[in-house]
Structure 1
Amino acid sequence: MKTMSFLVWIFPIIYMLHDFEEIIMAEVWGSRYHDEINICFPKNQPFGLNYVHTCQTPSFASGVYIFFTIYTIISFFSVFFQNYILWIGAFIPIILHFVIIHILICLKFKHYVPGLLTSVIFLIPSLLCIIEARQLLPYSSFTWILASISGTILSMFMMKFLHRLLKTISLQLKRYRSTE
Protein backbone atom coordinates (compact mmCIF):
# COMPACT_ATOMS: atom_id res chain seq x y z
CA MET A 1 0.00 0.00 0.00
CA LYS A 2 2.95 2.29 -0.61
CA THR A 3 1.94 3.76 -3.98
CA MET A 4 -0.52 6.53 -4.64
CA SER A 5 -1.86 4.68 -7.68
CA PHE A 6 -3.04 1.85 -5.44
CA LEU A 7 -4.59 4.26 -2.92
CA VAL A 8 -6.33 6.25 -5.64
CA TRP A 9 -8.03 3.19 -7.15
CA ILE A 10 -9.17 1.98 -3.73
CA PHE A 11 -11.51 5.01 -3.62
CA PRO A 12 -13.90 4.10 -6.49
CA ILE A 13 -13.84 0.46 -5.37
CA ILE A 14 -14.88 1.39 -1.82
CA TYR A 15 -17.50 3.77 -3.19
CA MET A 16 -19.02 1.12 -5.47
CA LEU A 17 -19.02 -1.66 -2.87
CA HIS A 18 -20.70 0.74 -0.44
CA ASP A 19 -23.28 1.78 -3.00
CA PHE A 20 -24.07 -1.83 -3.91
CA GLU A 21 -25.47 -2.13 -0.39
CA GLU A 22 -27.52 1.03 -0.94
CA ILE A 23 -28.75 -0.09 -4.38
CA ILE A 24 -29.82 -3.48 -3.03
CA MET A 25 -31.48 -2.19 0.14
CA ALA A 26 -32.83 1.35 -0.46
CA GLU A 27 -36.13 0.46 -2.15
CA VAL A 28 -37.10 -2.36 0.23
CA TRP A 29 -35.93 -0.29 3.21
CA GLY A 30 -38.07 2.65 2.01
CA SER A 31 -41.09 0.35 1.76
CA ARG A 32 -40.49 -1.35 5.10
CA TYR A 33 -39.93 1.85 7.09
CA HIS A 34 -42.18 4.21 5.09
CA ASP A 35 -44.08 5.56 8.11
CA GLU A 36 -41.01 5.82 10.35
CA ILE A 37 -39.10 7.61 7.58
CA ASN A 38 -41.89 10.18 7.20
CA ILE A 39 -41.86 10.83 10.95
CA CYS A 40 -38.07 10.93 11.40
CA PHE A 41 -37.29 12.80 8.17
CA PRO A 42 -40.34 14.95 7.32
CA LYS A 43 -38.45 17.25 4.90
CA ASN A 44 -35.08 15.87 3.77
CA GLN A 45 -35.56 12.15 3.40
CA PRO A 46 -32.59 9.93 2.57
CA PHE A 47 -32.09 8.36 -0.86
CA GLY A 48 -34.28 10.97 -2.56
CA LEU A 49 -37.42 9.47 -1.02
CA ASN A 50 -39.08 12.87 -0.69
CA TYR A 51 -38.88 13.28 -4.47
CA VAL A 52 -40.25 9.91 -5.55
CA HIS A 53 -42.04 8.74 -2.37
CA THR A 54 -40.67 5.26 -2.94
CA CYS A 55 -37.05 4.86 -3.86
CA GLN A 56 -36.97 3.01 -7.15
CA THR A 57 -33.89 0.88 -7.65
CA PRO A 58 -33.33 1.81 -11.34
CA SER A 59 -33.48 5.54 -10.51
CA PHE A 60 -31.17 5.16 -7.55
CA ALA A 61 -28.75 3.01 -9.58
CA SER A 62 -28.69 5.76 -12.24
CA GLY A 63 -27.53 8.25 -9.62
CA VAL A 64 -24.88 5.83 -8.38
CA TYR A 65 -23.70 5.36 -11.97
CA ILE A 66 -23.27 9.13 -12.38
CA PHE A 67 -21.20 9.45 -9.20
CA PHE A 68 -19.17 6.31 -9.95
CA THR A 69 -18.33 7.71 -13.39
CA ILE A 70 -17.24 11.03 -11.87
CA TYR A 71 -15.11 9.29 -9.21
CA THR A 72 -13.53 6.99 -11.79
CA ILE A 73 -12.64 9.95 -14.02
CA ILE A 74 -11.17 11.81 -11.03
CA SER A 75 -9.13 8.73 -10.10
CA PHE A 76 -7.90 8.23 -13.66
CA PHE A 77 -6.78 11.84 -14.09
CA SER A 78 -5.22 11.90 -10.61
CA VAL A 79 -3.02 8.92 -11.49
CA PHE A 80 -2.38 10.06 -15.07
CA PHE A 81 -1.28 13.59 -14.10
CA GLN A 82 0.04 12.60 -10.65
CA ASN A 83 -1.97 15.41 -9.12
CA TYR A 84 -4.15 14.22 -6.28
CA ILE A 85 -5.95 17.35 -5.08
CA LEU A 86 -9.24 16.42 -6.80
CA TRP A 87 -8.93 12.90 -5.42
CA ILE A 88 -8.55 14.29 -1.88
CA GLY A 89 -11.54 16.55 -2.50
CA ALA A 90 -13.63 13.58 -3.62
CA PHE A 91 -12.52 10.91 -1.12
CA ILE A 92 -12.75 12.95 2.10
CA PRO A 93 -16.47 13.72 1.57
CA ILE A 94 -17.16 10.00 1.09
CA ILE A 95 -15.57 9.30 4.47
CA LEU A 96 -17.66 12.10 6.01
CA HIS A 97 -20.69 10.59 4.24
CA PHE A 98 -20.01 7.24 5.96
CA VAL A 99 -20.00 8.90 9.39
CA ILE A 100 -22.64 11.61 9.04
CA ILE A 101 -25.15 10.13 6.63
CA HIS A 102 -25.05 6.49 7.61
CA ILE A 103 -23.74 6.09 11.14
CA LEU A 104 -25.23 9.23 12.74
CA ILE A 105 -28.54 9.01 10.84
CA CYS A 106 -28.83 5.38 11.92
CA LEU A 107 -28.52 6.51 15.54
CA LYS A 108 -31.23 9.14 14.97
CA PHE A 109 -33.49 6.75 13.05
CA LYS A 110 -32.94 3.87 15.52
CA HIS A 111 -33.13 1.33 12.69
CA TYR A 112 -30.82 0.04 10.00
CA VAL A 113 -30.09 2.55 7.21
CA PRO A 114 -28.91 1.26 3.78
CA GLY A 115 -25.16 1.70 3.55
CA LEU A 116 -24.57 1.36 7.30
CA LEU A 117 -22.83 -2.01 7.13
CA THR A 118 -20.32 -0.97 4.46
CA SER A 119 -19.82 2.43 6.14
CA VAL A 120 -18.70 0.68 9.30
CA ILE A 121 -16.58 -1.85 7.37
CA PHE A 122 -14.88 0.73 5.11
CA LEU A 123 -14.44 3.62 7.57
CA ILE A 124 -11.12 2.40 9.01
CA PRO A 125 -9.60 1.29 5.65
CA SER A 126 -10.62 4.65 4.13
CA LEU A 127 -9.00 6.55 6.98
CA LEU A 128 -5.86 4.41 6.61
CA CYS A 129 -5.74 5.28 2.89
CA ILE A 130 -5.94 8.98 3.73
CA ILE A 131 -3.26 8.66 6.43
CA GLU A 132 -0.97 6.83 3.98
CA ALA A 133 -1.67 9.41 1.24
CA ARG A 134 -0.91 12.20 3.71
CA GLN A 135 2.54 10.67 4.24
CA LEU A 136 3.20 10.09 0.52
CA LEU A 137 2.01 13.41 -0.89
CA PRO A 138 3.97 16.67 -0.60
CA TYR A 139 0.83 18.79 -0.06
CA SER A 140 0.64 21.18 2.88
CA SER A 141 -2.00 20.87 5.58
CA PHE A 142 -3.64 23.96 4.13
CA THR A 143 -3.98 22.25 0.73
CA TRP A 144 -5.50 19.15 2.35
CA ILE A 145 -7.97 21.25 4.33
CA LEU A 146 -8.89 23.41 1.34
CA ALA A 147 -9.35 20.37 -0.93
CA SER A 148 -11.44 18.64 1.74
CA ILE A 149 -13.70 21.63 2.41
CA SER A 150 -14.10 22.47 -1.30
CA GLY A 151 -14.81 18.83 -2.14
CA THR A 152 -17.35 18.52 0.66
CA ILE A 153 -19.21 21.67 -0.42
CA LEU A 154 -19.17 20.55 -4.06
CA SER A 155 -20.36 17.06 -3.06
CA MET A 156 -23.27 18.55 -1.12
CA PHE A 157 -24.39 20.55 -4.16
CA MET A 158 -23.94 17.53 -6.43
CA MET A 159 -25.99 15.36 -4.06
CA LYS A 160 -28.79 17.94 -3.92
CA PHE A 161 -28.79 18.17 -7.72
CA LEU A 162 -28.71 14.40 -8.04
CA HIS A 163 -31.67 13.92 -5.70
CA ARG A 164 -33.67 16.34 -7.85
CA LEU A 165 -32.49 14.49 -10.94
CA LEU A 166 -33.78 11.23 -9.41
CA LYS A 167 -37.30 12.60 -9.69
CA THR A 168 -36.82 13.25 -13.41
CA ILE A 169 -35.20 9.86 -13.97
CA SER A 170 -38.02 8.16 -12.06
CA LEU A 171 -40.67 9.90 -14.16
CA GLN A 172 -38.84 9.07 -17.40
CA LEU A 173 -38.55 5.40 -16.44
CA LYS A 174 -42.22 5.32 -15.43
CA ARG A 175 -43.18 6.88 -18.77
CA TYR A 176 -40.96 4.40 -20.64
CA ARG A 177 -42.55 1.49 -18.80
CA SER A 178 -46.07 2.73 -19.69
CA THR A 179 -45.38 3.42 -23.37
CA GLU A 180 -45.75 0.63 -25.89
Structure 2
Amino acid sequence: MTNDMLMGLLPVVFMLHEFEEIVMLKPWLAKNGAALERRFPAVAARVLPLYGNLSTSAFTVAVLEEFLILTVLTYAAIAFGLHDLWAGLLVAFLFHLLVHVGQTILWRGYCPFIITSLLVLPYCLYALFALARSGAISPAPTAAWSVAATVLVYLNLWLALRLARRFEAWIGHDFAPRS
Protein backbone atom coordinates (compact mmCIF):
# COMPACT_ATOMS: atom_id res chain seq x y z
CA MET A 1 0.00 0.00 0.00
CA THR A 2 1.37 3.42 -0.92
CA ASN A 3 1.70 6.25 1.57
CA ASP A 4 -1.02 8.18 -0.27
CA MET A 5 -3.41 5.24 0.00
CA LEU A 6 -2.61 4.84 3.67
CA MET A 7 -3.15 8.55 4.26
CA GLY A 8 -6.42 8.53 2.31
CA LEU A 9 -7.86 5.98 4.73
CA LEU A 10 -7.79 8.40 7.68
CA PRO A 11 -11.24 9.96 7.02
CA VAL A 12 -12.72 6.46 6.68
CA VAL A 13 -11.08 5.31 9.92
CA PHE A 14 -12.19 8.51 11.65
CA MET A 15 -15.80 7.91 10.62
CA LEU A 16 -15.69 4.27 11.68
CA HIS A 17 -14.77 5.51 15.15
CA GLU A 18 -17.32 8.33 15.09
CA PHE A 19 -20.16 5.99 14.09
CA GLU A 20 -19.80 4.22 17.43
CA GLU A 21 -20.05 7.56 19.20
CA ILE A 22 -23.02 8.70 17.09
CA VAL A 23 -24.96 5.48 17.67
CA MET A 24 -24.05 4.81 21.30
CA LEU A 25 -23.46 8.15 23.06
CA LYS A 26 -27.07 9.18 23.68
CA PRO A 27 -28.26 5.80 25.01
CA TRP A 28 -25.08 5.43 27.09
CA LEU A 29 -25.58 8.86 28.66
CA ALA A 30 -29.25 8.07 29.36
CA LYS A 31 -28.25 4.86 31.14
CA ASN A 32 -25.08 6.10 32.86
CA GLY A 33 -25.56 9.86 33.33
CA ALA A 34 -26.52 9.60 37.01
CA ALA A 35 -23.59 7.26 37.74
CA LEU A 36 -21.27 9.63 35.88
CA GLU A 37 -22.48 12.51 38.07
CA ARG A 38 -22.01 10.42 41.21
CA ARG A 39 -18.57 8.97 40.36
CA PHE A 40 -17.02 11.88 38.47
CA PRO A 41 -18.98 15.05 39.34
CA ALA A 42 -16.43 17.48 37.86
CA VAL A 43 -16.37 15.58 34.57
CA ALA A 44 -20.15 15.25 34.51
CA ALA A 45 -20.53 18.99 35.11
CA ARG A 46 -18.55 19.62 31.92
CA VAL A 47 -19.68 16.71 29.73
CA LEU A 48 -23.41 16.46 30.37
CA PRO A 49 -24.26 20.07 29.42
CA LEU A 50 -22.20 19.72 26.23
CA TYR A 51 -23.43 16.34 25.03
CA GLY A 52 -26.40 15.33 27.17
CA ASN A 53 -28.77 17.90 25.70
CA LEU A 54 -27.84 17.25 22.08
CA SER A 55 -29.96 15.02 19.92
CA THR A 56 -28.22 12.36 17.89
CA SER A 57 -28.89 14.48 14.80
CA ALA A 58 -27.22 17.54 16.31
CA PHE A 59 -24.24 15.50 17.50
CA THR A 60 -23.94 14.14 13.96
CA VAL A 61 -23.71 17.70 12.65
CA ALA A 62 -20.67 18.26 14.90
CA VAL A 63 -19.11 15.05 13.61
CA LEU A 64 -19.84 16.09 10.01
CA GLU A 65 -18.02 19.38 10.52
CA GLU A 66 -14.98 17.56 11.92
CA PHE A 67 -15.10 14.97 9.11
CA LEU A 68 -15.19 17.63 6.40
CA ILE A 69 -12.20 19.48 7.85
CA LEU A 70 -10.23 16.25 8.29
CA THR A 71 -11.06 15.12 4.76
CA VAL A 72 -10.05 18.43 3.17
CA LEU A 73 -6.79 18.51 5.14
CA THR A 74 -6.04 14.86 4.36
CA TYR A 75 -6.49 15.24 0.62
CA ALA A 76 -4.65 18.57 0.59
CA ALA A 77 -1.76 16.85 2.40
CA ILE A 78 -1.78 14.08 -0.21
CA ALA A 79 -2.02 16.49 -3.15
CA PHE A 80 0.74 18.81 -1.91
CA GLY A 81 2.99 16.25 -0.23
CA LEU A 82 2.42 17.66 3.25
CA HIS A 83 3.13 14.38 4.98
CA ASP A 84 4.26 15.92 8.27
CA LEU A 85 1.03 17.94 8.49
CA TRP A 86 -0.98 14.78 7.90
CA ALA A 87 1.08 12.87 10.47
CA GLY A 88 0.30 15.66 12.94
CA LEU A 89 -3.41 15.15 12.29
CA LEU A 90 -2.95 11.42 12.76
CA VAL A 91 -1.13 11.95 16.07
CA ALA A 92 -3.94 14.25 17.27
CA PHE A 93 -6.45 11.52 16.39
CA LEU A 94 -4.25 8.92 18.08
CA PHE A 95 -4.15 11.10 21.21
CA HIS A 96 -7.97 11.31 21.06
CA LEU A 97 -8.17 7.50 20.92
CA LEU A 98 -5.76 7.12 23.84
CA VAL A 99 -7.87 9.54 25.90
CA HIS A 100 -10.84 7.25 25.20
CA VAL A 101 -8.83 4.23 26.37
CA GLY A 102 -8.00 6.11 29.57
CA GLN A 103 -11.63 7.12 30.07
CA THR A 104 -12.73 3.53 29.69
CA ILE A 105 -10.13 2.33 32.19
CA LEU A 106 -11.30 4.94 34.71
CA TRP A 107 -14.96 4.08 34.09
CA ARG A 108 -14.21 0.34 34.39
CA GLY A 109 -16.85 -0.60 31.85
CA TYR A 110 -18.04 0.01 28.33
CA CYS A 111 -17.85 3.57 27.06
CA PRO A 112 -19.37 4.49 23.68
CA PHE A 113 -16.09 4.83 21.86
CA ILE A 114 -13.81 2.08 23.11
CA ILE A 115 -14.53 -0.71 20.62
CA THR A 116 -13.61 1.38 17.59
CA SER A 117 -10.77 3.07 19.46
CA LEU A 118 -9.17 -0.32 19.92
CA LEU A 119 -9.97 -1.33 16.33
CA VAL A 120 -8.40 1.74 14.73
CA LEU A 121 -5.36 2.14 16.99
CA PRO A 122 -3.36 -0.40 14.94
CA TYR A 123 -4.06 1.54 11.72
CA CYS A 124 -2.82 4.76 13.35
CA LEU A 125 0.37 3.19 14.62
CA TYR A 126 1.02 1.34 11.36
CA ALA A 127 0.44 4.47 9.24
CA LEU A 128 2.73 6.56 11.41
CA PHE A 129 5.52 3.97 11.35
CA ALA A 130 5.08 3.31 7.61
CA LEU A 131 5.46 7.01 6.77
CA ALA A 132 8.45 7.31 9.09
CA ARG A 133 10.08 4.17 7.66
CA SER A 134 9.64 5.48 4.11
CA GLY A 135 11.24 8.82 5.02
CA ALA A 136 8.05 10.76 4.21
CA ILE A 137 7.92 12.32 7.68
CA SER A 138 10.56 13.67 10.04
CA PRO A 139 10.42 13.78 13.85
CA ALA A 140 10.70 17.54 14.45
CA PRO A 141 8.14 18.74 11.85
CA THR A 142 5.76 15.92 12.75
CA ALA A 143 6.04 16.79 16.45
CA ALA A 144 5.35 20.47 15.72
CA TRP A 145 2.34 19.61 13.53
CA SER A 146 1.13 17.16 16.20
CA VAL A 147 1.06 19.86 18.86
CA ALA A 148 -0.60 22.35 16.49
CA ALA A 149 -3.16 19.80 15.28
CA THR A 150 -4.04 18.67 18.80
CA VAL A 151 -4.63 22.25 19.93
CA LEU A 152 -6.66 23.01 16.80
CA VAL A 153 -8.72 19.82 17.15
CA TYR A 154 -9.76 20.70 20.69
CA LEU A 155 -10.46 24.34 19.76
CA ASN A 156 -12.49 23.14 16.79
CA LEU A 157 -14.50 20.88 19.09
CA TRP A 158 -15.90 24.06 20.65
CA LEU A 159 -16.92 25.31 17.19
CA ALA A 160 -18.39 21.94 16.18
CA LEU A 161 -20.47 21.72 19.36
CA ARG A 162 -21.63 25.31 18.93
CA LEU A 163 -22.73 24.43 15.39
CA ALA A 164 -24.52 21.37 16.79
CA ARG A 165 -26.37 23.49 19.38
CA ARG A 166 -27.44 25.93 16.66
CA PHE A 167 -28.65 23.01 14.57
CA GLU A 168 -30.53 21.69 17.61
CA ALA A 169 -32.25 25.06 18.06
CA TRP A 170 -33.09 25.21 14.35
CA ILE A 171 -34.65 21.75 14.21
CA GLY A 172 -36.46 22.43 17.47
CA HIS A 173 -37.92 25.61 16.03
CA ASP A 174 -38.49 24.81 12.37
CA PHE A 175 -39.45 21.15 12.79
CA ALA A 176 -41.54 21.42 15.94
CA PRO A 177 -45.10 20.11 15.60
CA ARG A 178 -47.49 22.85 14.65
CA SER A 179 -50.83 23.07 16.38
TM-score (norm 2): 0.89
CA deviations 1:113-137 (Å, max 9, x no partner) are 1111000111122101110011224
The RMSD of aligned alpha carbons is 1.7
Asked whether the 8 Å contact 1:21–1:114 carries over to 2, the reply is yes
Please say if residues 25 and 112 of structure 2, whose CA atoms lie closer than 8 Å, have aligned partners that are also in contact: yes
Offset at residue 168 of structure 1 (A): 2.2
Q: Which residue of 2 aligns with 1:178?
A: 176
What residue is the counterpart of 1:162 in the other structure? Answer: 160
1:43 aligned partner: 45
Alignment of 1:1-180 (within 5 A): 1=1, 3-39=2-38, 40=40, 41-45=43-47, 49-51=48-50, 53-100=52-99, 102-178=100-176, 180=178
Distance (whole Å) between structure 1 residues aligned to residue 135 and residue 61 of structure 2? 34
Matches of 1:52 and 1:157, distance apart in 2: 16
Is the 2:132–2:138 contact (alpha carbons within 8 Å) kept by the matching residues of 1? no
Q: Which amino acid aligns with 1:126?
A: C
Q: Is the 8 A contact 1:27 1:54 kept in 2?
A: no
Hey, what's the Cα distance between the residues in 1 that align with 2:51 and 2:11? 27
Deviation at 1:81, TM superposition (A): 1.4
> How much does 1:10 deviate?
1.5
- Residues 144, 108 of structure 1: alpha-carbon distance in 2 compared, 3 angstrom cutoff: same
Contact 1:15–1:68 (CA under 8 A) maintained in structure 2: yes
Task: Provide the secondary structure at the position in 2 that maps to 1:112.
Answer: coil
Stretches of structure 1 lacking an aligned partner (at least 5 in a row): none
- State the shift of 1:90 in Å: 1.5
How big is each residue's C-alpha offset from its partner over 1:82-138, in whole Å with a ceiling of 9 and x where there is no partner? 2223312221111110111x1111122223111110001111221011100112244
Q: Percent identity?
A: 22
Give the TM-score of the pair, scaled to structure 1. Answer: 0.89
What is the alpha-carbon distance in structure 2 between the residues aligned to residue 71 and residue 52 of structure 1? 21
Give the distance between the partners of 1:52 and 1:64, measured in 2 at CA: 12
Q: Which amino acid aligns with 1:93?
A: A
Structure 2: unaligned runs, 5 residues or longer? none
Q: CA deviation at 1:38?
A: 2.5
C-alpha contact (below 8 Å) 2:62/2:164 kept by paired residues: yes
